[in-house]
Amino acid sequence: MKKVFKVIGIVIGVLALGVVVLLAYVKLALPNVGEAPSLKVDATPQRIERGAYLANHVTVCIDCHSTRDYTLFSGPLAPGTIGKGGELFNQQMGFPGSFTAKNITPYGIGNWTDGEIYRAITTGVSRDGHAFFPVMPYPYYGKMGDEDVQSIIAYLRTLKPIENKPAESKADFPFNFILNTIPVKAEPMSMPDPKDELATGKYLVMIAGCVECHTQVDKGQIIKEKSFAGGRDFKLPSGMLYTSNITPDKETGIGSWTKETFIARFKTYADSSYKPQKLGPNDFQTVMPWMMYAGMKEQDLGAIYTYLMSLKPIPNKVTEKFKPHVAIR
């Protein structure tokens, strides 16, 4: 009997040692995406203009890295906060930890090399080698063409420096280990021919990360067979938001929309007469940065529509778009 207990003890010891070694590897050896590339971006006016367009209206980097005023519909950016960071994503919003957007003005990343910024955008690995939480959609940015990434870097260098030091992010256990396994090496897509509307739409939808918000998740991972079918929930201070079905299903998605209707839906918020509505505690709110996407070129919005119409229609009726925390009387 003593021999049996001894063998069991040895087995348990070996398993425990294996777990310790595995955790040490994940914590100390990962993420492993390679060194930051040796890169010096030539900040031409064309690149700066393209980078400003992408960061403000397509990839919307400026969205999370500024301050959004959620007392107004769609949380427009607060003046004077562009790029300063500090937006908080924490447990109250359903995240496995407390994560803050970093300062991406020259005050925050002015001493980073272009290669370090490139690696951060495309792999989610910071200058010091730690992994970012993927509320920053770097798995999609990693598919971005090199020229577009360099354009964003060129633009970020032009931002007004804002003195702000956001709090450090901290992942809860066990996600503090899991987080290190998420970053992978970038796999940039080829830049599409602007004349190829379908390919352009596919590219823009990818780098904008549309599928992430418009797809239900299971244990933090999108359910691929439900891609773009909506229904993902987001915890907001005022209530629970459920995203729309943007597949071409005619009954529950956008299959009955014309291209003109789709474009107009975005351009409503580009009208100079539009003023974001002040919201009460029971009013519908959204994380969709309509005012930012409204600045997208009509040609690009049309390409996105063309791509979405090429997807498989998925019936999924999102009956309730917003459920306020405060009961309506």
pLDDT digits (tens, 9 = 90+) for 98-131: 999 999 999 999 999 999 999 999 999 999 999 9
Q: State yes or no: pLDDT of 36 exceeds 70.
A: yes
Q: Is 267 exposed, middle or buried (0-12, 13-18, 19+ CB in 10 A)?
A: middle
Rounded alpha-carbon distances, angstroms, from residue 296 to 55, 56, 60, 227, 303:
11, 9, 11, 23, 11
Q: What is the mean pLDDT of residues 21-40?
A: 77
Q: Are 209 and 137 in contact (CB under 8 A)?
A: yes
Q: What is 294-322 written as a DSSP string?
A: TTS-HHHHHHHHHHHHTSPP-------SE
- The amino acid at residue 165 is K
Instruction: Give pLDDT, residue 282.
Output: 85
Share of the chain above pLDDT 70, in %: 90
Q: What is the mean pLDDT of residues 125-140?
A: 97
pLDDT digits (tens, 9 = 90+) for 45-70: 999 999 999 999 999 999 999 999 99
Q: State yes or no: pLDDT of 327 exceeds 60.
A: no
HSE (CB half, 13 Å, CA atoms) of 242?
13
pLDDT digits (tens, 9 = 90+) for 228-284: 999 999 998 889 999 999 999 999 999 999 999 999 999 999 988 899 999 998 899
Instruction: Give pLDDT, residue 328.
Output: 43
pLDDT digits (tens, 9 = 90+) for 168-187: 999 999 999 999 999 999 99
Q: Are 154 and 51 in contact (CB under 8 A)?
A: yes
Question: Global pTM?
Answer: 0.93
Q: State yes or no: pLDDT of 329 exceeds 50.
A: no
